[in-house]
Amino acid sequence: MAKLYLVPTPIGNLEDITFRALRVLKEVDLILAEDTRNSGKLLKHFEINTPMQSHHMHNEHKTVENVVRQIQNGKTVALISDAGTPAISDPGFLLTRACVEAGLEVDCLPGATAFVPALVNSGLPNDKFVFEGFLPVKKGRQTRLELLAQETRTIILYESPHKLLKTLGQIKEFFGEDRQISVSREITKLHEETVRGTAAEVLSHYETKPPKGEIVVVVAGNK
């Protein structure tokens, strides 16, 4: 049956792909990949020969209509990102919305995503939380931080290595130096690390040890 599959891929350790994900990627007519070169390595590793097409943040506005038409014409399509679950700080929302609006079936498989293990591993309350993804780079950043400083739920942020010190410094400034935070990087990879402590302590750690890799910041809510 023609449909769109949203298929999570490993965020580091290739063993984290599911049997179901492998079956779907082998059976669909087309795989939409954020970076076909990167995904090509994954598919080659698992001996998957399904045709691929590029679908990323710079072209998704143009490709959505064509993909919807292909599914309407009977094709089964899988969407993958470079790592993790599609549409979580990655392309996928626009296509999913277009398929839903067109009355097409969408099936999202469970699987790898960075923020869940970072949250659970943080030791901070996880019964209620808010996922913020990446903070605004410039416009609206200070306003967002001021609002989040009052948030009572645990807060999850994604951050890049070269911006981590700036973000930690702003958390210390807006949230207070004693706010508990946890920084997880390179989740599931060889050099996986989690640093926990107050905003001041974690900032001090990374000032002497520059961070590398993909990073998730988990911040305790305002008590």
* Domain assignments of the chain as residue spans, ordered by start: 4-108, 115-219
Distance, in Å, from the CA atom of 223 to the CA atom of 221, rounded to the nearest integer, reads 6
Confidence (pLDDT) at 134: 96
Cβ contacts of 23-27, under 8 Å, gap ≥ 24: 24/78, 24/109, 25/50, 25/78, 25/80, 26/50, 27/76
pLDDT tens digits along 174-189: 999 999 999 999 999 9
Class of domain 115-219: alpha beta
Ranges of the chain whose pLDDT falls below 50: none
Confidence (pLDDT) at 1: 80
The topology (CATH level 3) of 4-108 is Cobalt-precorrin-4 Transmethylase; domain 1 (3.40.1010)
pTM above the 0.85 mark?
Answer: yes
